[in-house]
Amino acid sequence: MQKPYLGEFEQVVLLAVLQLGAEAHAPAIGRKLEASAGRRVSRGALYGTLERLENKKFLRWEIGAATSERGGHRKRRFEVTPVGVQVLRDSRAVLETLWNGLDELSSESTQ
């Protein structure tokens, strides 16, 4: 059976959710990606990816309590599932295997 594949953007979204923990709602995820990964993210790309990750069972969400700062509206808080953590680990292992030995090559090409 083929292991699930994560695209690069899916990986950084899952990592941002893990880093944000209880504060992992969509606007905070977008800000985290801008600050940490140096990339601006459109709402459509972010929400589409969050939905895709949920459909793959790598992510789940729950509705938080209403807050006065949001005019009584509630936020969706995202959480990476155990399956999502495992697929991240698998993706990291693949990348590390592929990078193995390339540090020497890259230093030779810059000389």
Residue 17 lies in a domain: yes
Residue span of the structural domain in which 69 resides: 8-109
User: What confidence tens digit (pLDDT) does each residue in 64-90 have?
Assistant: 766 666 566 778 999 999 999 999 999
Q: Is the pLDDT of residue 111 over 60?
A: no
What does the pLDDT read at residue 103?
Answer: 74
Average pLDDT over residues 31-42: 91
Place 107 in a pLDDT band, splitting at 50, 70 and 90. Answer: low
Q: How many domains does the chain have?
A: 1
Q: What is the DSSP letter of 100?
A: T
The gap from C-alpha 94 to its chain's centroid, in whole angstroms, comes to: 17
The gap from C-alpha 40 to its chain's centroid, in whole angstroms, comes to: 14
Place 5 in a pLDDT band, splitting at 50, 70 and 90. Answer: confident
Residue 3 lies in a domain: no
Q: Is the pLDDT of residue 108 over 70?
A: no
